[in-house]
Amino acid sequence: MTVPQTGPLLSVEDLVVEHRTPGRPVVRAVAGASLHVAAGEVVGLVGESGCGKSTLARAVCGLHGAASGRIHVGGRPVTPLGLRRRDPALTGVQMVFQDPYSSLNPRRRVGAQIADGLRTAGDTATSPADLLERVGLPRAFAGRYPHEFSGGQRQRVAIARALAARPSLLIGDEPISALDASAQAQVARLMRDLAVESGAGLLFISHDLSVVRLIADRIAVMYLGKVVETGPTAEVWADPRHPYTRALLAAIPSPDGAGVLPAELPGDVPDPADPPAGCRFHPRCPFVMDVCREKEPDFGPVACWLHAPEPSSLS
Amino acid sequence: MTAAQKTAALTIEGLRVSIGGHDVLHGVDLTLEAGRVHGLAGESGSGKTMTGLAVLGLLPHGSRASGRIAFGGRDLLEMPARELNEVRGAKIAMVFQDPATSLHPMLTVERQLTEHMRHHLGIGRKDARERAAALLAKVRIPGPEEALKRYPHQFSGGMRQRIAIAVALACEPEVLIADEPTTALDVTVQAGILRLLRGLCDDLGLAVLLVTHDLGVMSAVADEVSVMKDGLVVETGPRGRVLREPRHPYTRSLLDALPVPPGENSP
């Protein structure tokens, strides 16, 4: 890429994304989230469904306009995708979607769909078959249609298509949740390996914490539109600090044969159209204090009053 | 509590299923006991779901089943369609993987909860409604009376799966087949559903067949575990034994393939 690299590859600052439906209150799907991805780094974004992780990913791709906040990729602001041709500098952001049954065009051969990506990158040396080989599929499959593949194979084709555009930032929006259990870990590892190999950053979104743990260098936990905790994967796993992260990790059943039922997090995710005052997690938090109900914890890496920085540094 | 009872509620012996001349099950043996959760593990394509569907007589068209599925002194495979209809949904119920597709999107929760109840139990509209509200309370849906009037899309995924479980429990079944009931859900919601299933099994003395690929889920709720591979049960035994000291190499390979190594637990 010719774009000058200053700071992280992807930086998202105080991003707010709103969904507007006529006759309904405005839903703040992403309510001031900040996130960074460095080149060659794999960041796992986890959280329950409805917490805004997919919306964040779509905003990074320009599929959703931001109400406020900044998204920069390689130092350039990301503009919403319109009818015009994408700014060539921004085709370095490529996305692999959740459902490979609907993200591939059923009426075009997969080779032709991968060739679209190659044309975007102005790459005449690589053939679609080369890319199929890289994702572990036989070269001859380029002449086939999507329906001739299994779910895991289709997702590999979708990854090949994203890689064809020579991305500097690859985004996977729940790329494994539509796949069989046996294919999930394989596809996740493949995405990691291919991204790291090509020096691209990978933002991997999933609600499956065990897979994220497997492939991510850093982990970001999102709750109701906000990133509540970030840190290196091993650290977060060994010592989760935000009560929500703790609850999330405690809910994973362990296959130890002991018959221990996982801990339940009481309550439901509140309506994002009407989030609770103060800390967004306070109605479900077991350690709730008075300050949590009044003031929103606006700091990182752990957005929780239990882990507040020194009071002097807060205004 | 009927959990201590050791009575076979349903026995599957030498179940073979072939679809279009292709064998999917090659002689499956399973025993479900009242008040116990029997976990059925294995990769996709190993025949877990087919086993569950065979019990309910819901196999796809053109499939042939042989062997024996003994329930209440009868063989379900030999039973005429009419009689099977009386068992299915009443004595043996099923919960499917995706509550977004297993519930009817255009019918109110009340209708979905009461229709089969009125058919199978022959009770009136008012009684059925009362029972439906009680069922929703049992699966811990907040405001059951209000919930009856709503449609599935107005609930979250976890709540929908609770409703699907309530639908399955409506006619007081003896056997519940849960096919990947938590796969489509978040871990925090999954924890709630697993606790609910375990509680219902203990309180109502249900015999539960829990089909799942997730060995963590298996370890949390199942009493007995069977592991399937290529249409055959390769290993059966108590949960602790199968997951800690697997005897079959395939079970060991499944455990080794886990992203989180067994024993190394989250805090």
| Residue A14 reports pLDDT greater than 70 | yes
pLDDT at A79: 86
pLDDT at B259: 63
Count of A–B CB contacts within 8 Å? 119
pLDDT at A310: 66
Q: Does A234 touch chain B (CB under 8 A)?
A: no
When the pLDDT of each residue in chain B is averaged and rounded to a whole number, the result is 88
Q: Which of A211, A240, A251 sits opposite B191 (nearest CB)?
A: A251
Q: In chain B, where are the structural domains located?
A: 92-170
Closest residue in A to B239 (Cα–Cα): A257
Task: Give A242 to chain B, closest Cα distance, Å.
Answer: 13
- Structure confidence at residue B93 as a pLDDT band (50, 70, 90): very high
Q: Which residues of B touch A260 (CB under 8 A)?
A: 219-220
Q: Does B214 touch chain A (CB under 8 A)?
A: yes
CB contact under 8 A, A262 and B220: yes
CA distance between the termini of chain B: 32
pLDDT at B2: 42
pLDDT at B262: 42
Domains of chain A as residue ranges with CATH: 1-81+88-92+167-174+182-253+263-308 (3.40.50.300), 99-166 (no CATH)
| Residue A2 reports pLDDT greater than 80 | no
SS3 track for chain A: CCCCCCCCCEEEEEEEEEECCCCCCCEEEEEEEEEEECCCCEEEEECCCCCCHHHHHHHHHCCCCCCEEEEEECCEECCCCCCCCCCHHHCCEEEECCCHHHHCCCCCCHHHHHHHHHHHCCCCCCCHHHHHHHCCCCHHHHHCCHHHCCHHHHHHHHHHHHHHCCCCEEEEECCCCCCCHHHHHHHHHHHHHHHHHCCCEEEEECCCHHHHHHHCCEEEEEECCEEEEEEEHHHHHHCCCCHHHHHHHHCCCCCCCCCCCCCCCCCCCCCCCCCCCCCCCHHHCCCCCHHHHHCCCCCCCECCHHHCCCHHHCC
CB contact under 8 A, B239 and A257: yes
Tell which A residues from 94 to 113 touch B, by Cβ distance under 8 Å.
none
Q: Which residues of A touch B267 (CB under 8 A)?
A: 238-240, 246, 249-250
Instruction: State pLDDT tens for residues A179-189.
Output: 776 678 888 99
CB contact under 8 A, B242 and A257: yes
- Structure confidence at residue A200 as a pLDDT band (50, 70, 90): very high
Edge-first strand listing for the sheet containing A226-232: A93-96, A169-173, A201-205, A42-46, A218-223, A226-232
pLDDT at B33: 93
Instruction: State pLDDT tens for residues A99-115.
Output: 888 899 999 999 999 99
Tell which A residues from 49 to 78 touch B, by Cβ distance under 8 Å.
49-50
Look up residue B152 and give its DSSP letter. G
Task: Report ipTM (2 d.p.).
Answer: 0.77
Instruction: State pLDDT tens for residues B158-210.
Output: 889 999 999 999 998 999 999 989 887 888 888 988 999 999 899 999 999 99
CB contact under 8 A, A239 and B267: yes
Q: Which of A247, A254, A261 sits opposite B198 (nearest CB)?
A: A261
CB contact under 8 A, A261 and B220: yes
Task: Give A220 to chain B, closest Cα distance, Å.
Answer: 16
| Residue B10 reports pLDDT greater than 60 | yes
Closest residue in B to A185 (Cα–Cα): B259
Q: Which of A50, A259, A263 sits opposite B239 (nearest CB)?
A: A259
Q: How far apart are CA A88 and CA B3, in angstroms?
A: 65
Tell which A residues from 251 to 290 touch B, by Cβ distance under 8 Å.
251-265, 268-269
Task: Give A88 to chain B, closest Cα distance, Å.
Answer: 37
| Residue A313 reports pLDDT greater than 70 | no
pLDDT at B69: 94
pTM of the model: 0.82
Q: Which residues of B touch A239 (CB under 8 A)?
A: 267
B71-85 average pLDDT score: 91
Q: Does B81 touch chain A (CB under 8 A)?
A: no
Closest residue in A to B256 (Cα–Cα): A255
Share of chain B above pLDDT 70, in %: 94
Q: Which of A181, A210, A256 sits opposite B219 (nearest CB)?
A: A256
Q: Does B255 touch chain A (CB under 8 A)?
A: yes
pLDDT at B140: 83
Instruction: State pLDDT tens for residues B136-150.
Output: 988 888 888 989 999
Q: Which of B156, B213, B255 sits opposite A181 (nearest CB)?
A: B213
Q: Does A83 touch chain B (CB under 8 A)?
A: no
- Structure confidence at residue B260 as a pLDDT band (50, 70, 90): low
CB contact under 8 A, B221 and A261: yes
Share of chain A above pLDDT 70, in %: 95
Task: Give A126 to chain B, closest Cα distance, Å.
Answer: 34
Instruction: State pLDDT tens for residues B41-62.
Output: 988 778 888 999 999 988 988 8
Contact A67, A18 (CB under 8 A): yes
Q: Does A241 touch chain B (CB under 8 A)?
A: no
